[in-house]
Structure 1
């Protein structure tokens, strides 16, 4: 039997075994190929090895021409060794003989010698190439110098020719205008003179001085510059209107030429050939009838009898009359109309073959001022280059731009330097250079009043203490009995010195106001109530004073109270590194009472002593500098800014800049309400005249012109827009798509409570907005759509209506139009004058947006004993209550093998055949679930109640 399933298959056999050999790899080498002009190139060659007896030689096969390398002399070949026989099918490892080893050593040494020779040849070629390159460079420079000299020589020749032609043309014009005597009439029996206009008709006639110089004409005919005949004396004949010299009907003897006079320069006309003297010229208007004119020495009506009559001339086909008949030519003088300057320039340009246009103009290298961003058009204008050249250069660098595109400073610098210009980089912030902090000479400084800031916790008696010093009643006008505005006053002490006081609010929301007061002050008076001690805002005031680096004076107020404890205040201040003089420190402390006025004089003396130690000076004879302490919008007076002048003197009519607003000072109002003409250093004044309401804390400076003020405010406005865009702008428009997608990904985004806030002063609005931004959590936050100073306007109502926001007015009211618009649109307006109430109401409203907290209360458990199927009802579970109670309508969970398999509500609860409201522990009942029928005996039912608890912020 055959082992295969398919008999008849052929048997596969293997061919006789072959000896396995390893093919030698192709060896490669590199050869340096030299070309003309000093160029070289690396060429890859293949190296083949041939065995010549026992010695192995390398024969490089060059794939490209290579330099001749001196080869070593051939060495004698030793006799071939005796072949070694070995049996078939066996392998023999052959060892090298001594001769073969010597041959290989000689081959290696020859190779090294050839490589050294090749390196030497390459170095010689490199030196020769360097010499050739230097010689070519010198030749190019010499050629360029010769070319420049040739162009200069040609230009001078052209100028000389142009001046000579102009002088000749002027002399011709003068000769035509000068009156000439008429030639005597020849006798009647005299033979007529030869005909023709050319002077060559008479051999005795001398050649005119202005005969054309022979010069080869340019290729191609130029009919518009046909050669003219020499000028002749036309006597009293009126001028021709076709700008051609009139043809004489009778011959006249030539005018004698004075051979003793110097010859006039010849006028060369390069674009025309000398006219033929044999044949007269024909003109298109020669055949027309001309009226006869009587001239001295001529004939009226034609030539005399017997004189040859010239044949009529026919006009040439296609020839047009030269020149155009205009009013200037018709009413011109008696001379012939000549070419215009433009025509002469075109003729010279055609003569010279546009040499002047081919010569590149000498470029002027400029210093280009490049800001942070610049348009391509503006950059081209500053370089005095064409915009297309700049765009072409950018395209070569791989950037496609239009002429109105904006490029950055680095790209503009690369373009300008590539075109040969120098670049001066400037920044947008350079417009503010020299505006602030310019040092004054010591001899110009004069003493100035001290600026003292009153700081402390709320309701510690700061404003009351200042009222006792000023003998005013400012505190009675504050809503809620707390200070919510920053105030500035100047007081004259009993010693006659002037002191400027700045009153800051003590509420936690007015941190920015306290920080501004600490920045502009010289001395800080820390007011601490003796019955209350150190509070959070007291600590904050201490930190502000330390950050500003100003000295501190502690005023322990309310010592007239029964529970006052000044020692407690001193000991608590030690926790914050404030050591008073009573305890051996350096900080002055005064026990005062704003109610009784006790020790107020000692407080003023301490302030005067501290100011004397500081030696406060300023230069009043310079442009004013200061800081905006507070700003508001008055409907009758416009924007009003309270400015503390720190250096110089502010006068009416000065142009001032504050932040992104500027204006001309229309009025200065002191703290008492009186108008003043100027404000010296350390004097707080209200400034009227700004074009907008500046922000509190902005620095004020006087500039020299409105243009400078606009330039500075435009830059600051751009900076402000960039900052608003960077932080989102506080509106939905400022949020990017990535921000909204991130909010959605984190959990459908936070709920927002939109608001529109308007206040009476900038500081209050700033404090309210800062406080509202801190209110909220991860689920809800307040979003201030718009905030500003002044009354509520109709545009605020429109914005609130569009975004569903509420409008809040702090110490301001809505205009009549705004109230009517709010009633029509259903927008709610809330008015507040105390910041506590405003923040509490906003918190309560935002709490309504929070999702309530769900709390579960367990009621009881039951176990299923049996399942009953009821027609038209479904499955009913017979249960026994194990603990607690089961209530109808409560929430239930079905637990099977300790796994919750269903959650829902209890649809029916029955005890026997009656509906039950609840079933207590130990009793049996029947239950059915809503939309669930898969109940099994042994399952456990949990019954619970869900309660919602309202959340608050």
Structure 2
């Protein structure tokens, strides 16, 4: 049997006799809550008590009382020296934490401080009221004495008509009050004097008493009641602060005043600065007008513009004048005004060395002649030789005279300079081999020199060879309109040998003689200006430019602008690799310190400060971007047509390349017959062979178009033409060439049917298949090849076949097109003479509307 079953069960009874009930644990009451500016509110609050029980005598649970009955909460026993509370039997209630104890102590301290501040404020108020009453009594006494002495009759009449309630007060002073009633009476008197305009009618309703505003610690006490004259003049009283409502009212009045001025139509006239182009939004901002009003004015003029659309200067000027503003026209090109400075006076000019460019065929000894001239330099022998690391250098003769040579490979840099208007070359030395005579690149050099308008000195090289024939060279020069002195002309010729180093001194004398005839002079005592021979970007040195000073002197520390770039001269290096402090006219020098890399042929000029250099650089970069955006497409020929139609162009420069000499002569003769008194076609250069980089450079420098008759441009020339926006036209019929040039001269545009280039494919391998023929295994190198398009077969950049594409396969499947970088198989219709290395050109014929 269980132990619980053996013990008898006790009945469930109460620990205390009486009824089972819950005592009230919520005490309700009302508390008056005060707010700023004298406002108060009565709220009802409830206080919940927490009943706590603790074990008492005999194991009974006894309720723990928080405070002794009959004592207020403030006087409840607080055990400050112990951490716990005990009841009447000594039992502990609970422990107080350090935070609770500190909070209670701070609350008691704050309550005592608030009571002290409140008592001090009441004492100050009573003192002020007593002082105010005393002053007012004195004032009334002085008024009564003045009235009694000056106007006794008026005083008596006033006393008779005065109310009965005020008579006793006028007859005799009030009796002294007891000290207990002195403070309330003083406060009442102060309240009455603060409101002198309030009517004291019998039975008037008393003003409601305002509750005292609690004073916060650390906050200045606010003024209560109305401000009197005495309080305003009291220096001890605090200064009156402006309220937020007063500030808002002042702002509202100012806003209403501005609106009233606008409604009355008072117009503000402004000085509006108008550049070459300006947007509608910017124009409205500069005039301080609404953008919608500006758009409405444009619509009245018949111009439909948006807020972000650009306007020209004339239209913006008309709009600004319509709104009544003063106009100031400016141009962005004004930053370049006076950049090059004034012309030098003749008395300040000094003789300078000539600048010579050596040109000629690459196999005619041009490099050997340059090496021979460098080794004959006196300064070179003294210094132990020259290390040519820049594109220009100076040679000093035994007599002390100097000659500056520009060593530019090919003709690219020479024509780049001339294309930008920087004609830095004074004399051209044309090197011709005595055994070979005039070659293709020699003719090109003659064309370049004639286009630049500089004198030419012919150096007949390789005179040490047994088959040298200088007379044949002179005869061949006559075909290119160069008449030497031996035949009655004015062109100097010198027979030299770079290998044997013969007659080099005669060549230098001829150069100096020609320079003496040109009278080359410059002013060294001015800011430097000149041209950029070449520029490059080197690791560790940044942008390095080779400059040729034409006038003035450049020094270390100068700020200069080169093309669209600017910089400060950090170092100057001459042609021998030595650091120098300055460089004068006709002296080549390397410059370090540019912010970017300029183009060959750009002009450079030293400016006064960095700010102007930045402005010029930004303007030129902006102009360059606009020019590139305007000529982004391949529309050079169309633009040329429009210029001819507008009367801006009188000559049409053309570069002609053909496959055979007979076709070239026929095309040149046909173009010559098209010329009239007003316009004409000018053939700058005509030769046999494919289109190369020299042809593209010459066309870009002269603004010409290139005509290719049964020839094509090599990849380098195509890339250069695409970059420089040079238009290349391919033809296979002479009549089409003549018709297009005639249309250009008469102001018409391109023909109605035009070729559209698709792509190039190179034949990698040829497969012979029975019953089909030869199949070309190709790799598409550029663009795309489409089935059904027309094709041309090129061998060494010469067209050998033109026809249609028979089949286009990729692996074993017929495909519609093959893009760049993929292999394919192609076959031609009725043509099988294909070889490895041939190039297939794919094109389409498209129709274009003819515009007059």
Between the two structures, name the one with larger relative contact order (CA 8 Å, sep ≥ 6): 2
